[in-house]
């Protein structure tokens, strides 16, 4: 945890950052360093490969040729995990990224969505033929929110049809020297991560996870604490009569009950290198299992005027009363081309008077990062449930995109923190 120990002043900046690539200048360093805040699967893939890849395609615009950045973490040869980063000619953030990509060496620090620093390396930057050194006359566009959205779509399409030559021309950041030990164990006892009902007051974490349920339940609890008060969140509520767990999380507001069931897979080298077909099958199975458990929990809670539960060792009585009930199934990952199947899965939660939604965990994290109050969270969730019901599948990451643009606008106004 080199960066946050030696430079604690950057931690608040990283905490505000929803995710992606962020240039930082540490004290009086001549060169910028790079923070990458992303999912554990991407960090583990980078660790396995000893490198990450930066793609800077030449993209045609209306009057000129421009570029933007795709950072790839190869858990799969054809469809790796990626981060898309639009680049603009009129902001310090983009200029910092371009500056870093022209270095011979750069220090890279990897953080997950909960701001845990998992590894850091001094890397050798090898440009094998990107447009930064090519013959094309490249001009970065001026910033506009609609341009950001357009570039994301163009980058996604380009990467999906890239060639072997494109792979060979990518910039490689090859890990040369560890800046801190990689074998890290986290023990977090902070209230902002552990204040919910059902917690033990602490959580443990590692980059590789062979016991996914323990970690995912606590990840979701920590995300929920961004929008709800601790007493509104119950993790692992159990029936008092049988002591059987009814679902992972029950969130109660004055008007709403959110029933959350999550399903995860181990975050290990073997797990992240499974074929895409196996990952897709696993996702469908996880969604079905989660929906069955949500519907079962709803039936139990609705049968009695007051349901008697146990949360940790505490007796809790829950009366749904006139509350709207929403089911939320959270799985490891969703795939953009399977929206119809996910919309059909949501319809299996139609027996709940508030309906239901399916999310992948990383989108759920982004959702709680974007909608940080009970009112915002509930309004956004109910809006998405209704849109899926009436119009078909809605990608959560598209719904939170405006929040990312808000952060970009703040960075543009304030410049890079020094």
CA 129: distance to chain centroid?
31
| Per-residue pLDDT, 417 | 44
Query: Token match 């009695």: residue?
Result: 304
| Per-residue pLDDT, 275 | 87
| Per-residue pLDDT, 22 | 95
pLDDT of 237-246, one tens digit each?
999 999 999 9
| Per-residue pLDDT, 401 | 66
Q: How far apart are CA 179 and CA 159, in angstroms?
A: 31
CB atoms within 10 A of CB 212: 18
Q: Give percent of the chain above pLDDT 70.
A: 95
CA 7: distance to chain centroid?
24
Dihedral over Cα of 171, 174, 176, 179: its sign: positive
Q: How far apart are CA 23 and CA 98, in angstroms?
A: 10
Which pLDDT band holds residue 414 (cuts at 50, 70, 90)?
low
| Per-residue pLDDT, 77 | 86
Q: How far apart are CA 110 and CA 396, in angstroms?
A: 24
pLDDT of 143-182, one tens digit each?
888 888 899 889 999 999 999 999 999 999 999 999 988 8
Give the mean pLDDT of 237-261.
97
Give the mean pLDDT of 357-382.
93
Q: Are the CB atoms for 327 and 357 separated by under 8 Å?
A: yes
Q: Are the CB atoms for 294 and 302 separated by under 8 Å?
A: no
Provide the 3-class DSSP secondary structure of residue 330: strand
| Per-residue pLDDT, 253 | 97
pLDDT of 63-96, one tens digit each?
889 999 999 999 988 889 999 999 999 888 999 9
Question: For residue 42, is pLDDT > 90?
Answer: yes
Q: How far apart are CA 320 and CA 369, in angstroms?
A: 27
Question: For residue 288, is pLDDT > 80?
Answer: yes
| Per-residue pLDDT, 409 | 58
How is residue 326 written in tokens? 């929403």
Q: How far is CA 396 from CA 42, 56, 74, 365, in A?
A: 20, 26, 24, 10
Question: Which domains does the chain carry?
Answer: 2-183 (no CATH), 186-398 (3.40.91)
Query: Token match 């995990």: residue?
Result: 81
Question: For residue 272, is pLDDT > 50?
Answer: yes
Give the mean pLDDT of 35-48.
95
Q: What is the dihedral of CA 15, 21, 24, 29, to 10 degrees?
A: 140
pLDDT of 301-346, one tens digit each?
999 899 999 999 899 999 999 999 999 999 999 998 999 999 999 9
Which pLDDT band holds residue 402 (cuts at 50, 70, 90)?
low
| Per-residue pLDDT, 418 | 36
Compute the C-alpha angle 113/114/117, nearest 5°: 90
Of 50, 46, 37, the residue nearest 73 (C-alpha): 46
| Per-residue pLDDT, 192 | 87
Average pLDDT, the chain: 91
Higher pLDDT, 403 or 149: 149
Q: Are the CB atoms for 224 and 114 separated by under 8 Å?
A: no
Q: Are the CB atoms for 121 and 109 separated by under 8 Å?
A: no
User: What's the chain's length in residues?
Assistant: 418
Which pLDDT band holds residue 276 (cuts at 50, 70, 90)?
confident
Q: How far apart are CA 248 and CA 259, in angstroms?
A: 8
| Per-residue pLDDT, 330 | 97
| Per-residue pLDDT, 36 | 97
Query: Token match 């870093």: residue?
Result: 100
Which pLDDT band holds residue 397 (cuts at 50, 70, 90)?
confident
Q: How far apart are CA 324 and CA 354, in angstroms?
A: 5
Beta-strand pair 249-252/233-235: antiparallel
- Could you tell me which residues come within 8 angstroms of residue 280 by beta carbon, excluding any fewer than 6 positions away? 335, 338
CB atoms within 10 A of CB 345: 22
Higher pLDDT, 289 or 210: 289
Question: For residue 286, is pLDDT > 90?
Answer: yes
């Amino acid at each position: 945890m080199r960066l946050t120990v030696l430079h604690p002043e950057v931690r608040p900046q990283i905490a505000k950052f929803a995710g992606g690539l962020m240039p930082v200048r540490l004290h009086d360093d001549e060169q910028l360093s790079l923070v990458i805040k992303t999912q554990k699967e991407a960090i583990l893939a980078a660790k396995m490969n000893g490198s990450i890849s930066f793609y800077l395609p030449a993209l045609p615009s209306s009057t000129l040729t421009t570029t933007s950045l795709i950072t790839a973490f190869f858990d799969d040869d054809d469809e790796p995990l990626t981060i898309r980063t639009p680049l603009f000619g009129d902001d310090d953030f983009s200029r910092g990224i371009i500056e870093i990509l022209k270095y011979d060496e750069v220090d890279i620090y990897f953080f997950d969505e909960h701001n845990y620093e998992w590894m850091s390396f001094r890397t050798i930057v090898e440009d094998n033929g990107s447009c930064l050194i090519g013959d094309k006359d490249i001009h970065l566009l001026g910033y506009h929110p609609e341009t950001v959205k357009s570039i994301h779509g163009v980058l996604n399409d380009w990467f999906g049809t890239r060639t072997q030559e494109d792979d060979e021309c990518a910039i490689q950041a090859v890990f040369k020297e560890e800046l801190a030990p990689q074998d890290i164990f986290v023990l977090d006892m902070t209230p902002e991560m552990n204040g919910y009902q059902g917690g033990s007051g602490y959580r443990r974490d590692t980059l590789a996870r062979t016991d996914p349920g323990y970690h995912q339940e606590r990840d979701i609890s920590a995300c929920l604490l961004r929008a709800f008060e601790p007493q509104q969140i119950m993790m692992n509520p159990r029936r008092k009569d049988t002591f059987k767990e009814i679902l992972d999380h029950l969130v109660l507001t004055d008007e709403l009950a959110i029933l959350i069931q999550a399903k995860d897979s181990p975050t290990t080298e073997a797990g992240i290198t499974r074929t895409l077909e196996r990952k897709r099958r696993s996702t469908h199975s996880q969604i079905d299992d989660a929906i069955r458990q949500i519907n079962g929990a709803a039936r139990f809670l609705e049968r009695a005027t007051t349901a008697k539960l146990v949360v940790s060792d505490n007796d809790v009585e829950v009366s749904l009363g006139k509350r709207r009930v929403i089911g939320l199934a959270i799985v490891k990952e969703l795939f953009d081309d399977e929206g119809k199947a996910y919309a059909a899965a949501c319809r299996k939660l139609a027996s709940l008077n508030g309906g239901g939604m399916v999310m992948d965990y990383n989108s759920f994290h982004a959702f709680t990062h974007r909608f940080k109050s009970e009112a915002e969270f509930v309004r956004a969730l109910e809006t998405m449930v209704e849109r899926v019901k009436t119009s078909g599948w809605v990608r959560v990451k598209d719904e939170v995109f405006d929040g990312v643009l808000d952060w970009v606008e703040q960075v543009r106004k304030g410049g890079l923190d020094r």
